[in-house]
Amino acid sequence: MKNRKIILSENEIPEYYLNISYYLKKYLGKLPDPPLNPATKKPVGPADLSAIFPMELIKQEVSLDKEIAIPEEVRDLYKLYRPTPLIRAYRLEKFLDTPAHIYYKYEGASPTGSHKINTTLAQAYYNKKEGVKTLIAETGAGQFGSALSLACNFFGLKCQIFMVKVSFEQKPYRKTVMRIYGADVFSSPTKFTQFGKKILEENPNTPGSLGIAISEALESVGKTEKAKYSLGSVLNHVLLHQTVIGQEAKKQMEKSGEYPDIVIGCVGGGSNFAGIAFPFLADKLKNKNKTRFVGVEPQSCPSLTRGKYKYDFGDTAKMTPLMKMYSLGSDFVPSPIHAGGLRYHGMAPLVSFLYHEKQMEAVAYDQKSIFQAGIDFARTEGIIAAPESCHAIKAAIDEAIKAKAEGKKKVILFNLSGHGLLDLNGYDKFLQNTL
User: Residues 7-36: pLDDT tens digits?
Assistant: 999 999 999 999 999 999 999 999 999 999
Q: How confident is the model at residue 342 (pLDDT cuts 50, 70, 90)?
A: confident
Q: How confident is the model at residue 76 (pLDDT cuts 50, 70, 90)?
A: very high
pLDDT > 90 in the chain, percent = 87
Establish if 296 belongs to a structural domain: yes
What average pLDDT score do residues 117-132 get? 98
CATH of the domain at 347: 3.40.50.1100
Q: What is the pLDDT of residues 195-221, one digit of tens each?
A: 999 999 999 999 998 889 989 999 999
Establish if 29 belongs to a structural domain: no
Q: Is the pLDDT of residue 429 over 60?
A: yes
What average pLDDT score do residues 114-137 get? 97
Strand partners, 154: none
Q: Is the pLDDT of residue 242 over 60?
A: yes
Q: What is the pLDDT of residues 344-393, one digit of tens each?
A: 889 999 999 999 999 999 999 999 999 999 999 999 999 999 999 999 99
Establish if 156 belongs to a structural domain: no
Given CA atoms 270, 320, 312, 45 in this order, what sign does their dihedral have? Answer: negative
Residue 294 lies in domain: 5-13+71-114+237-431
What 3-state DSSP class applies to 159?
Answer: strand
Distance CA 387, CA 367 (A): 9
What average pLDDT score do residues 244-252 get? 98
Q: Which long-range contacts (CB under 8 A, 24 or more apart) does 216-219 make?
A: 216/138, 216/162, 216/186, 216/188, 216/189, 216/190, 216/192, 217/136, 217/137, 217/138, 217/160, 217/162, 218/52, 218/315, 218/317, 218/319, 218/320, 219/193, 219/194, 219/195, 219/317, 219/319
CA dihedral 170, 123, 269, 403 (to 10 degrees): -100
The total of structural domains in the chain comes to 1
Distance CA 359, CA 350 (A): 11
Angle in degrees, 0-180, between the axes of helices 424-431 and 367-381, rounded to the nearest 10: 100
Distance CA 272, CA 242 (A): 7
What average pLDDT score do residues 63-73 get? 97
Establish if 305 belongs to a structural domain: yes
Q: How many CA atoms lie within 13 A of 251 on its CB side?
A: 17
DSSP symbols for 88-127: E-HHHHHHHT-S-EEEEEEGGGSTTSBTTHHHHHHHHHHH
Strand 16-18 vs strand 67-69: parallel, antiparallel, or unpaired?
antiparallel
Distance CA 7, CA 298 (A): 32
Distance CA 171, CA 139 (A): 12
Q: Is the pLDDT of residue 338 over 80?
A: no
pLDDT computed for residue 1 by the predictor: 52
Establish if 336 belongs to a structural domain: yes
Q: How confident is the model at residue 45 (pLDDT cuts 50, 70, 90)?
A: confident
pLDDT computed for residue 210 by the predictor: 84
How far does CA 95 lie from the centroid of its chain? 29
Q: What is the pLDDT of residues 258-285, one digit of tens each?
A: 999 999 999 999 999 999 999 999 999 9
Phi, psi of 10, deg, nearest 5: -60, -30
How far does CA 48 lie from the centroid of its chain? 25
What average pLDDT score do residues 142-161 get? 96
Establish if 326 belongs to a structural domain: yes
**Which of 33-47, 64-78, 125-139 has the weakest average pLDDT?**
33-47
Phi, psi of 157, deg, nearest 5: -105, 150
Residue 183: count other Cβ atoms within 10 Å of its Cβ: 26
pLDDT computed for residue 160 by the predictor: 97
Distance CA 194, CA 33 (A): 32
DSSP symbols for 277-293: HHHHHHHHHHH----EE
Establish if 104 belongs to a structural domain: yes
pLDDT computed for residue 339 by the predictor: 63
pLDDT computed for residue 199 by the predictor: 93
Contacts of 402 (CB under 8 A, 6+ apart): none
Q: Is the pLDDT of residue 192 over 80?
A: yes
What rounded mean pLDDT belongs to the chain? 94
- Comparing C-alpha atoms, which of 331, 348, 362 is closest to residue 268? 348
What average pLDDT score do residues 238-256 get? 98
Establish if 330 belongs to a structural domain: yes
What 3-state DSSP class applies to 22?
Answer: helix
What average pLDDT score do residues 337-350 get? 82
Q: How confident is the model at residue 412 (pLDDT cuts 50, 70, 90)?
A: very high
Strand partners, 228: 135
- Comparing C-alpha atoms, which of 76, 70, 56 is closest to residue 131? 56
- Comparing C-alpha atoms, which of 7, 231, 282 is closest to residue 127? 231
Q: Give the CA distances from residue 349 to residues 225, 269, 283, 394, in Å, rounded to whole numbers and listed in that order.
A: 30, 9, 20, 25
Global pTM? 0.95
pLDDT computed for residue 177 by the predictor: 96
DSSP symbols for 190-255: -SSSHHHHHHHHH-TT----HHHHHHHHHHHHHHSTTEEE--SSSSHHHHHHTTHHHHHHHHHHHH
